Amino acid sequence: MKKFLAMMMALAMVLALAACGNNGGEASVSGSGDVSGEIAVTYTTANEGKLTMATNAAFPPYEYVEGGKIVGIDAEIAGAIAEKLGLELQIDDMEFDSIIEAVKGGKADIGLAGMTVTDERKEAVDFTASYATGVQVVIVTEDSAITSVDDLFAEGANTTIGVQRNTTGDLYTTWDIQDEGLGKVDRYSKGADAVQALKTGKVDCVVIDNEPAKAFVNAIEGLKILDTEYAVEDYAGAMSKDNTALYEAVNAALEELIADGTVKAIVDKYIPAE
């Protein structure tokens, strides 16, 4: 038994040394919990020894800045993935519509940004397992003539809709409303800016994900979220199609975190049950 342990420790040291020699790290992905089932997987990361996450930290409670730090559900999930892989987490904040490019170009390892899985995005990146559900909702002023999502599609409707640029709220309303001649879409760099435009009467409503919608409506007087949902969608991490080994390692780590309840505990911490 002692001999076996010593042998395993020697093996671990060899693996650790090997890990130092390359740009990413060496991860052990356990198939069965049995040592003999372990496969060493080598991958490279954007920054040596780090898991680099690209995000747009203006999307509470998934990612936002608090005390000069980026916090939130996605930041914590990424932290847990990084820990499993023995990497240090680095978060790069950018415009939402730069995230996919950063991942594709290998500048970031994973885009985690409350990002919805869509067929178009799937052409550019590979998505990890989905870790949350998002709902596109409509924010209006308390005295708004718009009382349900259907009002946006009514014949003769002429609504100005505020969205965050290149989000699914932007894509859907562009197709469903602007392209159908039922109004126009005003695109903002941040969701909060779109909500501010609603408050000042520049747009008639905002289409955005339900959790940031709640946070924005709570922070500004005189706004409400319509009861009817615009669309229900899945959030997942976006990764490069060209780094399969890293994809496998990150996705395996995420799946373990989903299976053992870690992801749920993180989500519940930020989104208390109603």
| Footprint of ligand ARG (CB under 6 A) | 55-56, 58-59, 63, 96, 113-116, 134, 164, 167-168, 209
- Closest to ligand ARG by CB, 52 vs 168, is 168
Provide, rounded to whole angstroms, the least separation between the CB of residue 196 and ligand ARG: 15
Give 41 or 113: the residue with its C-beta nearer to ligand ARG: 113
Helices 210-219 and 191-199 cross at an angle (nearest 10°) of 50
Number of H helices and E strands in the chain, helices first, is: 10, 14
Nearer to ligand ARG, 120 or 142 (CB): 120
Give me the least distance between CB of 270 and ligand ARG, in Å please.
14
Q: How far is the CB of 154 from ligand ARG (least distance, A)?
A: 25
CB 103 within 8 A of CB 54: yes
C-alpha distances in Å from residue 28, one per residue of 11, 139, 222: 12, 46, 53
Q: Give 26 or 211: the residue with its C-beta nearer to ligand ARG.
A: 211
Measured from the CB atom, the residue of 63 and 204 that comes closer to ligand ARG is 63
Give the closest residue to 251 by CA, choosing from 99, 48, 89, 84: 84
Give the nearest distance from C-beta 81 to ligand ARG in angstroms. Answer: 17
The SS3 assignment for 173 reads: helix
Helix, strand, coil share of the chain (percent; to 5): 40, 30, 30
Least spacing, CB of residue 194 vs ligand ARG, in Å = 11
